C-alpha cells in the first residue's frame, strides 16, 4: 500500500472514531454564590472564572457550548450548568511547614425533557502547595487550585451525562466498574429511574461515614419509594444527633408501610426527645392523610380505579 493512501486511511479512521464520541450540548453556564462574586484572595472577577470554566469544558472536546446566537435555537436534550465555589482557602497540614491552597467546586447539571427533568450534582477539590508567603505566591496557588477543581467537575460532569444517556442494562454493567465514579453515577441514574437493582446498593450506602453520602442515599431511596429500606433507616438513628434523627423519621414516613407506621407510632408515643416525638407524629399524620386520600371514598365514585 502506498504511504500516502495509508495516511489517508488512518486519518479517516480517526475522524470516524471522533464522530462517535459523545457530544453534550450546553445551553447555559451560570455562576452562583458569594465566593465567586467577591473573592479578594482569588483576585478574579466572576467573568474571569466563567471564562476559565468555559475553556476547561471546551478542552475536554465533548461539550458543545452554545453561543449566545444559538441559544434561541434551543437544542433538544441540552444541559444547563450552575457552578458554585463553596470555599477558597489556605489550610495547614499536620507535619508540613507549608500551607495549601484549597478550592471546592460544585456543579449542578440540569436537563429538561418530556419525561421529566434530570438533575445531578458533581463536586471537585483543587489543592496546591503554597510555595511562598507573599501575596503573589498565595494568589498563584489559589488560582491553580481553582483550575484543578474545575477540571475535576468537568470530567465528573462528562461521566454523569454519559451515564444519563445509557440504557439500564449498560448501567447495571457499570455497577461492576473498577472506577468508583462510574459506579456512583450509574447508581444515581438507576435510582432516578427507580430501577429495583439500585435499592440494595443505596441501602448499603446508609452505612457510609460521609453524612452527605448517607443523605443522598436516603433521598434516593425515598424517591424510589423503596420500603425495603425502612429497617436500615430505623437502625440508622441509633446514637445520632436530634436533627439527623428527625430527617430519618421524615424519610421513614415518606416510605410508609406497616413497619414504618409501627415505628413512627412508637416514637411519637415514647421517644425521650420532644422534638423527635413531634417529628414522628407529624410524619404519622401525613401518612394517615395519604391513606385517606388514596381510599375509594376520597377519590369519589366517578374516579376510575387503576
pLDDT at residue 1 is higher than 70: no
User: 82 pairs with which residues across the strands?
Assistant: 30, 108
The answer as to CATH 3.40.50 being correct for domain 22-165 is yes
Q: Give the pLDDT of residue 4.
A: 55
Domain with CATH 3.40.50 in the chain: 22-165
* C-alpha–C-alpha distance, residues 81 and 29, integer Å: 5
Q: Give the pLDDT of residue 128.
A: 94
pLDDT at residue 94 is higher than 80: no
- Whole-model pTM: value is 0.74
Q: 247, 255, 253: which is closest to 275 by C-alpha?
A: 247
Query: Cell for 245?
Result: 434523627
- Strands 63-65 and 24-32: what pairing? parallel
Do residues 164 and 115 lie in contact, with contact meaning Cβ atoms separated by under 8 Å?
Answer: no
For the residues 263-276, what does the mean pLDDT come to? 90
Could you report the per-residue pLDDT of 200-237, keeping only the tens digit for each? 999 999 999 888 889 989 988 998 899 999 999 999 98
Mean pLDDT of the residues in the chain: 85
E strand map for 66-156: 79-92, 99-111, 118-129
Give all strands of the β-sheet with 118-129 in edge-to-edge order. 63-65, 24-32, 79-92, 99-111, 118-129
Could you report the per-residue pLDDT of 123-171, keeping only the tens digit for each? 999 999 998 888 899 999 999 999 999 999 999 999 999 999 999 999 9
* C-alpha–C-alpha distance, residues 125 and 103, integer Å: 6
Nearest-5° Cα angle at 157, 152 to 159: 100
Long-range contacts of residues 210-215, Cβ cutoff 8 Å, at least 24 apart: 211/244, 215/247
Residue 70: band (very low, low, confident or very high) from pLDDT cuts 50, 70, 90: low
Query: Where does 62-210 have alpha helices with state H?
Result: 135-164, 168-174, 180-192, 198-205
Residue 253: band (very low, low, confident or very high) from pLDDT cuts 50, 70, 90: very high
* C-alpha–C-alpha distance, residues 8 and 268, integer Å: 75
Do residues 174 and 183 lie in contact, with contact meaning Cβ atoms separated by under 8 Å?
Answer: yes
Do residues 131 and 98 lie in contact, with contact meaning Cβ atoms separated by under 8 Å?
Answer: yes
Could you report the per-residue pLDDT of 17-54, keeping only the tens digit for each? 444 577 899 999 999 988 888 788 888 999 999 999 99
Do residues 257 and 230 lie in contact, with contact meaning Cβ atoms separated by under 8 Å?
Answer: yes
Q: Give the pLDDT of residue 79.
A: 95
Amino acid at each position: 500500500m502506498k504511504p500516502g493512501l495509508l495516511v489517508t486511511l488512518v486519518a479517516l479512521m480517526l475522524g470516524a472514531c471522533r464522530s462517535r464520541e459523545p457530544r453534550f450540548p450546553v445551553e447555559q453556564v451560570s455562576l452562583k454564590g458569594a465566593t465567586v462574586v467577591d473573592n479578594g484572595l482569588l483576585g478574579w472577577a466572576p467573568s474571569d472564572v466563567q471564562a476559565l470554566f468555559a475553556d476547561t469544558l471546551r478542552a475536554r472536546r465533548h461539550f458543545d457550548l452554545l453561543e449566545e446566537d444559538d441559544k434561541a435555537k434551543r437544542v433538544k436534550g441540552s444541559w444547563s450548568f450552575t457552578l458554585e465555589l463553596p470555599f477558597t482557602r489556605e489550610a495547614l497540614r499536620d507535619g508540613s511547614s507549608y500551607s495549601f491552597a484549597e478550592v471546592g467546586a460544585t456543579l449542578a447539571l440540569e436537563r429538561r425533557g418530556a419525561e421529566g427533568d434530570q438533575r445531578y450534582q458533581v463536586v471537585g477539590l483543587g489543592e496546591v502547595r503554597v510555595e511562598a508567603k507573599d501575596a503573589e505566591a498565595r494568589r498563584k496557588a489559589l488560582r491553580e487550585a481553582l483550575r484543578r477543581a474545575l477540571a475535576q467537575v468537568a470530567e465528573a460532569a462528562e461521566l454523569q451525562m454519559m451515564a444519563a444517556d445509557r440504557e439500564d442494562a449498560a448501567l447495571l454493567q457499570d455497577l461492576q466498574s473498577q472506577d468508583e465514579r462510574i459506579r456512583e453515577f450509574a447508581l444515581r441514574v438507576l435510582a432516578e429511574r427507580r430501577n429495583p437493582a439500585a435499592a440494595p446498593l443505596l441501602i448499603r450506602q446508609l452505612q457510609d461515614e460521609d453524612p452527605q453520602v448517607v443523605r443522598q442515599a436516603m433521598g434516593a431511596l425515598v424517591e424510589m419509594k423503596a420500603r425495603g429500606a425502612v429497617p436500615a433507616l430505623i437502625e440508622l438513628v441509633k446514637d445520632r444527633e436530634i436533627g439527623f434523627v428527625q430527617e430519618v423519621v421524615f424519610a421513614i414516613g415518606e416510605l410508609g408501610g406497616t413497619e414504618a407506621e409501627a415505628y413512627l407510632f412508637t416514637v411519637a408515643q415514647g421517644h425521650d426527645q420532644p422534638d423527635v416525638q413531634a417529628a414522628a407524629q407529624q410524619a404519622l399524620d401525613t401518612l394517615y392523610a395519604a391513606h385517606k386520600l388514596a381510599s375509594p371514598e376520597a377519590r369519589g365514585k366517578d374516579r376510575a380505579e387503576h
